[in-house]
Amino acid sequence: MPARRTTPKGYARAHELRRNQTEAEAKLWACLRREQLNGVSFRRQHAIGPYIVDFCAIKAKLIIELDGSQHLDQAAYDAERTAFLESKGYRVLRFWNPEVLQDMEAVLRAITQALVEP
């Protein structure tokens, strides 16, 4: 039996977050879902180890995190989280919520570029 990527509690929390997404998450998800971006499949609120990432393209090993103002006070936590995810082979892109809400084209260009770069 393969190892679980998180705990049952982690799966439940991810489900709760999917039901209560932020405005920025909803807007970006509308562009990522159903393989709309370069035919890449994304998951939202995907649990990996002790963390739940906003968006994850598993085959491309790319994680997209959207940061709100609370992230101004948790730089050390975000760095630890990013280091863990990178240790699992993922690349992590971070965007501020206002970037997604005000300049979606630039965000999608950055994601597309990350998908074509190794």
Q: What percent of the chain has pLDDT over 70?
A: 86
Instruction: Indicate whether 39 pLDDT > 70.
Output: yes
The owner of tokens 């039901």 is 19
- pLDDT of 1 strictly over 60: no
The pLDDT of 18-37, averaged and rounded, is: 91
In a domain, 106, yes or no: yes
How many folded domains does the chain comprise? 1
Q: Which residues contact 63 (CB under 8 A, 6 or more apart)?
A: 48, 53, 54, 55, 56, 57, 85, 90, 91, 92, 93
Indicate which CATH number applies to the domain containing 17.
3.40.960.10
Mean pLDDT of 11-36: 85
The confidence band for 7, taking pLDDT boundaries of 50, 70 and 90, is confident
Q: What is the per-residue DSSP string for 30-79?
A: HHHGGGTTTT---EEEEEETTEEEEEEETTTTEEEEEE-GGGGG-HHHHH
Q: Is there a domain that residue 1 lies in?
A: no
Instruction: Tell me whether residue 109 is in a domain.
Output: yes
pLDDT of residue 74: 80
The DSSP element (H or E) to which 100 belongs, if any, is helix 97-102
Domain interval for residue 92: 8-116
Domain annotation covers residue 42: yes
